Amino acid sequence: MHDSAMTALRERILPAHQRRDLDVLTDQLDLSGGDRASKVSAFWTMLVLSAVIAVAGVLSDSTATVIGAMIIAPLSVPIMGVALGIIRGEGHLIRRSAAYVAGGMVVVIAIGFVASLLLPSTTNILTNSQVMSRTSPGLLDMIAAVATGFAGAVGLSRKDVSDVLPGVAIAISLVPPLGVVGVCLGQGQIGLALGALVLFLSNFVALVLAGTLVFTAYGYTAEARAEGFRRRHAYSAIAVGVVLVLIPLIGNTVANALVALWTQRINTTAEEWVAQVPGGRLIDVTVQSTTAVIEVEVPGDLPNVDDLTAALEGQVPDGITVVVDAGVGERIDAGVVGQG
């Protein structure tokens, strides 16, 4: 009864007449099979071009340019090839696909690294939204990646929904975070580089997980009877990968929630502080690492900055450096919370 219900459900999700043949799917995802020379040439050409576009978009802080890089980026092909190798029970397909992914990572990171060395010395990547949005991933990024992976695997498996794949390419972030890794390494921002790398790895694991589940549910496993490879080893590797990726994602999620709370507290305290000057107003509060930058606008002299630091004691952790930016080149170090 259970098997018949599952079969009926699978038939609704993937009608048999729309199911892509396993050999066709394998030819699409195995870069070393079939016309290997053409596949490999296309992969590396499109990867380099997408990397250049992505890095240019990141450095120019252009969302539209980065999206363009996502659309043409080919890294999802070998990643899904890893998933296909798992359900087919073919270790050599997994290894070949993983090698393309690893090589692609090196190429994109290298392009980002070299490009960052050409930046003016006055460049501050901490103010670049394309960089900062990819250096502190959280659980929501993993959830989105898994859902995107499901959409991509369904699009590959069904003949009638292949037109969703450009949207999947945009939704999953593969090349841009690797470009950010290279840029951050070139600027000496190791912590930010690691954050962007975690984003890529979480997307990689999510795609493999989703692809494996969808390909299995669609019955491709039953057609693959390769010997000499234990799928449970691959499944165990996926499980370990999920756990390893979830640890920093959970940590970042908690950290982001705390930063949001501290930012709100600083915002409230700073509003009361600047209101001591008639016409004074708070513009913005930005918390980066252990520094809080408070942008204000006052028609006259600033209130005593020591009062601001003192008022923040107990509101944020001790050790937070407070900087007041009053515009027109006036940037005042207000001290460190808890050390007044």
Helix axes 231-274, 76-88, angle to 10 degrees: 140
The answer on 149 and 224 residing in a single domain is yes
The answer on 176 and 61 residing in a single domain is yes
All residues at 6 or more sequence positions from 255 whose CB lies less than 8 Å from its CB, including other chains: 136
Measured distance CA(178)–CA(125) in Å, rounded = 15
The answer on 88 and 209 residing in a single domain is yes
CATH number of the domain bearing residue 128 = 1.20.1080
Residue 21 domain-assigned?
yes
Convert the pLDDT of each residue in 41-64 to its tens digit: 999 999 999 999 999 999 999 999
Residue 283 domain-assigned?
yes
Q: Which of 180, 208, 229 is the last residue of a domain?
A: 229
The answer on 191 and 264 residing in a single domain is no
Convert the pLDDT of each residue in 195-207 to its tens digit: 899 899 988 988 8
* Radius of gyration in angstroms for the set of CA atoms belonging to the chain, rounded to a whole number: 25
Convert the pLDDT of each residue in 280-331 to its tens digit: 888 888 887 678 888 888 887 788 888 888 888 888 888 888 888 887 656 7
The answer on 137 and 282 residing in a single domain is no
Residue 105 domain-assigned?
yes
The answer on 266 and 209 residing in a single domain is no
Residue 266 domain-assigned?
yes
The answer on 122 and 45 residing in a single domain is yes
The answer on 221 and 262 residing in a single domain is no
Distance in Å from the first CA to the final CA of the chain: 72
Measured distance CA(328)–CA(101) in Å, rounded = 48
Number of domains in the chain: 2
* pLDDT over 90 at 173, yes or no: no
Residue 298: give the domain boundaries. Answer: 258-336
Residue 72 domain-assigned?
yes
The answer on 304 and 185 residing in a single domain is no
Measured distance CA(239)–CA(237) in Å, rounded = 5
Of residues 147, 145, 144, 30, the one with CA closest to residue 77: 30
The answer on 119 and 81 residing in a single domain is yes
Residue 97 domain-assigned?
yes
Residue 332 domain-assigned?
yes
The answer on 270 and 207 residing in a single domain is no
pLDDT band at 227 (very low <50, low <70, confident <90, very high): very low
The answer on 266 and 190 residing in a single domain is no
Convert the pLDDT of each residue in 100-157 to its tens digit: 999 999 999 999 999 999 988 777 787 788 998 888 888 888 888 888 888 888 888 8
CATH number of the domain bearing residue 323 = 3.30.300
Burial 91-121 (b: 16+ CB within 10 A, else e): bebbebbbebbeebbebbbebbbebbeeeee
Residue 239 domain-assigned?
no
**pLDDT over 90, % of the chain:** 23
Q: Answer whether 0.85 is exceeded by the pTM.
A: no
pLDDT of residue 1: 47
Q: Which of 210, 229, 248 is the last residue of a domain?
A: 229
